[in-house]
Amino acid sequence: MQSFFGKSIYKGMVMGPVMVFKKNDDRVKRKKIENAEMEITRVTKAIDLAKKQLQKLYDKAIVQVGEASAAIFEIHQMMLEDEDYLEAIHNTIRTELVNAEYAVAMTGDNFSEIFSAMDNDYMKARAVDVKDISQRVVQNLCGQEEVDLSSKGPCIIVADDLSPSETIQMDKEKILAFVTVRGSANSHTAILARMMNIPALIGVPLELSKIENGMIAVVDGFKGQVIFEPDEDTCREARQKIQKEQEKLRLLHELKGKENVTLDGRKINIYANIGSVSDIGYVLENDAGGIGLFRSEFLYLGRTDFPTEEEQYQSYKQAARMMAGKKVIIRTLDIGADKQVDYFQLGKEDNPALGYRAIRICLKQPDIFKTQLRALLRAAVFGNISIMYPMITSVEEVKQIQAIVEEVKAELEKQEIQYKIPKQGIMIETPAAVMISDELAQLVDFFSIGTNDLTQYTLAIDRQNEKLDDFYNPHHKAILRMIKMVVENAHKYGKWVGICGELGADTALTEQFVRMGIDELSVAPSMVLNLRKIIREMTV
Amino acid sequence: MNEKGKMLMKTFNHEIKDEVGIHARPAGLLVKEAKKYNSKITLNVNGKSAEATKLMAIMTLGVKQGQVVEITIEGEDEDTAYEGMKVFFEQNL
């Protein structure tokens, strides 16, 4: 039995097998070889092994999830037998005299690009399959252990650190908890864990090499503890706790369908934060009144090129439809700083948090912005969509945005494409925006306070720097006074104010926010009912 | 087409009924079925063609619901292959 403590991100408890996530970041290198036939023999062996691995996965999946879902592993096997694919690999090795790893990776990239370029969403998605099988073969060639969640039952992911694009590619159904050696409480990994409603411990001082796949572990998000290979007493205790938690959750779920109203009659909107359309299930399940923050940048992450207008339109439209008339507030692209995407080619900055990001990119590269706005205006026809602009610091920025929206509107008009101008608001997440919130309130429909960035900018604390976690006081008076000021300025001009940062979910502050006059709190879906409970038991 | 060609080729058209078109699963089944025969079986659609034994080529045809695919079969066992393919398309696509 081994026990470690870390910082807990989400209060929950689980027990299950461990899966160690090792980074596979050493890119495949191109090497010259002498003997092509020897490389081809290596490829053949690696592919045979891959097919055997896939057969095993298939057999397992048939039992666990049934034939229809298992079929993908059979398809993967057949892809590995595809004549064109094999021929391309062999030709690359023979004509360029390069190593097998490189030939497979390159062929995989080429084939997956063909799929990505198709005008059919289903086929586009198959690009991932081709990448998948190629990666499997490359891993076999390098003698690497496979990291494949799809083959496993639910497990606890143990890793050094996880990037947003890594976590987003994981099958959420298969993750019981995250345990990472590094990571900071306000990093996007932590935010994602909260959204996914799973326990996560960060800053856990463990040696990854000593943890093996399949070890049983208990993650206690209340104590911030992870116990590997627990003894029988610990297991029993854990099971009891898990059961108790489930009972609590059950009681909370009895609040579904009830209003967010204080004992003395003040009503608050409680909305949910999401990162993709697939999270809407959680929103509905937890009875949120709408979506207060749809982080559209996740459409841009984990891919190699910009999402098209059509792709974005489909996502937004689906969100609007699924929410059936309830508010869906979509935040425009918030890339930059800690969310880097290769194809944006943003370049290295000394001070990324104070750098080229979010609305600044949109205003400097209006083509990117316009594509998103077109998709949003078109999708707005199908439901109650609002647009929210991040990182505003001045009145001029808002006016520039409004001019671009007008241009997009004129274009759509000219092309006779159906559209609707949605309600538009801004994020208040810079001290500058707070100070001029009286002026900004006259230009927009609503405010949403992004407390994470507002705190980092106000307290001058880099949220990615773990060393500063001790200095990061989200309850700092400066922040609370700023929120109060924003509420007063917005209400003066009849506009509503919400909070969509992590502070909105801080149950220690809920009563204070309601008393300040906050109109809306947008939180992780799992927190909606918790807040409802507090609100229903308080008086203003 | 020459005399020999006429003799050695069978063709039929099939309209795709599957909602997702020729997606991975039926494409996989098609490859399996096509490999049972010695004849060269080709799918033609939108001016593009793919051999029925090549999974990725079939998938990248991107055939959608409602499109009509021409299937040509050429080879020594083309009569049996023709019957087999007809049944296959009717049942799976």
Write the CATH number for A330.
3.20.20.60
Asked if residue A68 has pLDDT above 70, the reply is: no
Residues A292 and A417 in one domain: yes
Tell which of A205, A236, A251 closes a domain. Answer: A251
Residues A289 and A227 in one domain: no
Q: Determine contact: B54 vs chain A, CB below 8 A.
A: yes
Candidate from B24, B25, B62 with C-beta closest to A120? B62
The torsion angle over the Cα atoms of residues A94, A95, A101 and A103, rounded to 10 degrees, is -120
Tell which of A142, A167, A188 closes a domain. Answer: A142
Element (H, E) at A69: helix A67-80
Residues A62 and A129 in one domain: yes
pLDDT, residue A148, reads: 54
Total domains, chain A? 3
| ipTM for the complex shown | 0.86
Q: CB B57 to CB A84 under 8 A?
A: yes
Asked if residue A467 has pLDDT above 90, the reply is: no
User: Would the CA dihedral through A339, A452, A194, A521 be positive or negative?
Assistant: negative
The answer to whether residue A31 is domain-embedded is no
Total domains, chain B? 1
Within 8 A of A129 by CB-CB distance, chain B residues are: 24
CATH number of the domain residue B27 falls in: 3.30.1340.10
pLDDT, residue A520, reads: 98
Residues A237 and A276 in one domain: no
Given the residues B23, B54, B64, B86, select the one marked as catalytic. Answer: B23
Residues A72 and A19 in one domain: no
Digit-coded pLDDT (tens) for A201-245: 998 998 888 888 888 999 999 999 999 999 999 999 999 999 998
Residues A414 and A529 in one domain: yes
The answer to whether residue A30 is domain-embedded is no
Buried-state track A43-53, b at ≥16 Cβ within 10 A, e below 16? beebbeebbeb
Element (H, E) at B11: strand B10-15
CATH number of the domain residue A241 falls in: 3.50.30.10
Q: Determine contact: B92 vs chain A, CB below 8 A.
A: no
Residues A156 and A105 in one domain: no
pLDDT, residue A411, reads: 96
Tell which of A142, A170, A191 closes a domain. Answer: A142
The one-letter amino acid code at A200 reads: A
Q: Are the C-beta atoms of A382 and A426 separated by less than 8 Å?
A: no
Asked if residue A517 has pLDDT above 70, the reply is: yes
Residues A203 and A233 in one domain: yes
Domain limits for position B24: 3-92
Residues A96 and A109 in one domain: yes
pLDDT, residue A261, reads: 96
Within 8 A of A81 by CB-CB distance, chain B residues are: 55
Digit-coded pLDDT (tens) for A95-150: 999 999 999 999 999 998 888 888 777 787 788 788 888 988 988 887 655 455 55
Q: Determine contact: B26 vs chain A, CB below 8 A.
A: no
Asked if residue A186 has pLDDT above 60, the reply is: no
pLDDT, residue A415, reads: 95
Within 8 A of B27 by CB-CB distance, chain A residues are: 75
Q: Which two tokens stand for residue A513?
A: 């926010």
pLDDT, residue A128, reads: 78
Q: CB B21 to CB A119 under 8 A?
A: no
Domain limits for position A78: 36-142
CATH number of the domain residue A123 falls in: 1.10.274.10
How many residue pairs from chains A and B have C-beta atoms closer than 8 A? 49
A89 contact partners, CB below 8 Å, separation of at least 6? A43, A100, A103, A104, A107
Spatial separation of the C-alpha atoms in residues A353 and A266, rounded to whole Å = 37
Q: Is the pTM of this model over 0.95?
A: no
Spatial separation of the C-alpha atoms in residues A357 and A367, rounded to whole Å = 15
Strands A384-389 and A423-428: parallel
Element (H, E) at B40: strand B40-45
The gap between the terminal CA atoms of chain A, to the nearest Å, is 49
For residue A524, the tally of other CB atoms under 10 A from its CB is: 25
Catalytic residue list contains A476: no
Chain A residue nearest residue B19, CA to CA: A122
Residues A168 and A203 in one domain: yes
Residues A357 and A481 in one domain: yes
Residues A210 and A120 in one domain: no
pLDDT, residue A46, reads: 93
